[in-house]
Homo-oligomer: A and B are copies of this chain.
């Protein structure tokens, strides 16, 4: 279950010097179990009815972002999507792909998009965010269903 220490909720909390509370462990485990960024609403739904208050989830995510454990991946439908930060460096985040057919969003951490090192038209780029839209592998094979 707990293969690498980076993928264990309690280990992540300890190395980030964050208090080990039930709500924090639950939020971390939701993010660890997901294959893509999640909203507060999705995290709360994943934890279940006995989980923490939604305000608590927001505050936990805020503290995780401050500690560098979690990153704000992107904003969609006016809702912030959060993901674990241990997969890629801060300033060159991997592209995120959203399927126009099934609506699922995936991380593409193995894709390395070059970021301009020299200024472009006088603009010095230090951080880039790329969002892709199109058809995911499974929707390309079966265009009707998911």
Which residues of A are interface residues toward B (Cβ below 8 A)? 75-76, 78, 97, 100, 106, 108, 110-111, 119-137, 140
The residue on B at minimum CB distance from A139 is: B124
Whether the pair A130, B127 counts as a contact (CB closer than 8 A) is no
The residue on B at minimum CB distance from A129 is: B131
The residue on B at minimum CB distance from A100 is: B126
Whether the pair B129, A135 counts as a contact (CB closer than 8 A) is no
A-B pairs with beta carbons under 8 Å apart, 10 shown: A100-B126, A108-B120, A108-B123, A119-B137, A120-B132, A121-B137, A122-B140, A127-B133, A128-B131, A130-B131
Whether the pair A137, B125 counts as a contact (CB closer than 8 A) is no
Residues from chain B with Cβ under 8 Å of A130 in the complex: 128-131
A134-B140 contact given A111-B121, A120-B111, A121-B111, CB 8 Å threshold: no
Smallest beta-carbon distance A88→chain B, Å = 15
